[in-house]
Amino acid sequence: MDWMIFKRVLVSGGKSFLRGGAVSAATVLIMTVTLSIIGSLIFLSALLTFTLNSIKDKVDVSVYFVTTAAESDILAVKGQLEKLPQVENVTYTSAADALTAFRARHATDQLTLQALDELGGNPLDASLEVRAKDPSEYESIVSFLEASPTLSAGGTSIVDRINYSQNKDVIDRLALAIQATREIGFAVVILFAIASILIAFATIRLAIYVAKDEIAVMRLVGASNAYIQGPFIVTGVLTGVTAALIVLLLLWPATWYVGVKTVTWFGGFDIASYYSSHFLLVLGIIMLSGIALGAVASVLAIRKYLTV
């Protein structure tokens, strides 16, 4: 197809889109809704990922030692953990430091402090807080601690407990909830995408019906299949592009308003800032989705209602 024919296809497709009037407007509207949902799913996925990563960053493995454990033995464990390639850092908290921090946290709770004084000693354990380079590495760190129990000089284990299992349950449940939310969002997008394709399909089918005499003449004079089909595909693509541009424009004020209202709710996640910094990504996804929806609807309509 040379440039002149290509230009005629584009012009014909553009005129068909403009002549569509209310029908084209309705197709653009439903496709705008679909692309808006796709855009919302992008922001929701980013928010969920941000939330999960924030929680993971706050998770560590805390190893608590029996009160009779010697500090030298605990520091030996610390040295072993620091040699593991999965470990980013290890922080040692002595029993005395733990008691000082406990008293500071409960400075206004006189009953708790009184009960602590009545014990006549320090009931708190020394501990090591282990932070991994990647949250997925905590399993192997815990396995290392469990497979290689640290023993005192007397041959007994000095590890009292490891608290990772509770944190792991929270992370796993959150990950499942995020996965379920993404799957539900994807299903909603699919439903609206089907609706958009059906409406665009009906619009293009109507255009084909109106132009059936013109199509018959083009076939008689030997017009190629691409030349006949091209304008309808252009019409569908223009519908998708128009809807995508509307969505991208509406997202600027929408994300700014929502970002101002919800940044404190979402733990610092600013939707407006995310949209600004990831504009090219959002633009690509929205625009390609619009083009794909319009093109697919056009191709389906042409295959079904044109014998070329």
- Choosing from 108, 132, 157, the residue where a domain stops is 157
- Write out the two tokens for 218: 């083009």
225-237 confidence digits (pLDDT tens): 666 677 777 887 8
- Choosing from 129, 157, 185, the residue where a domain stops is 157
Do 44 and 71 lie in one domain? The reply is: no
- Whether residue 45 lies inside any domain: the answer is yes
Query: Starting from the edge strand earliest in sequence, which strands make up the sheet with 127-132, in order?
Result: 87-93, 127-132, 61-65, 159-162
- In this structure, the strands spanning 61-65 and 87-93 are unpaired
Do 77 and 32 lie in one domain? The reply is: no
Q: How many CA atoms lie within 13 A of 284 on its CB side?
A: 4
- Choosing from 104, 128, 157, the residue where a domain stops is 157
Domain span at residue 116 reads: 67-157
User: How far is the C-alpha of 93 from the C-alpha of 72, rounded, in Å?
Assistant: 13
Which CATH number belongs to the domain containing residue 116 in this structure?
3.30.70.3040
Do 17 and 99 lie in one domain? The reply is: no
Do 220 and 84 lie in one domain? The reply is: no
Do 149 and 198 lie in one domain? The reply is: no
174-185 confidence digits (pLDDT tens): 667 777 777 787
Q: What is the largest distance, in Å, between two alpha-carbon atoms of the chain?
A: 105
- Write out the two tokens for 72: 């030298």
> Which amino acid, one-letter code, is at 91?
T
Single out the residue of 219, 234, 223 nearest to residue 16, CA to CA: 234
Do 9 and 114 lie in one domain? The reply is: no
Do 224 and 296 lie in one domain? The reply is: yes
247-280 confidence digits (pLDDT tens): 999 988 888 888 777 766 766 788 888 888 889 9
The structure's pTM equals 0.64
Q: How many domains does the chain have?
A: 2
- Whether residue 130 lies inside any domain: the answer is yes
pLDDT attached to residue 287 = 92
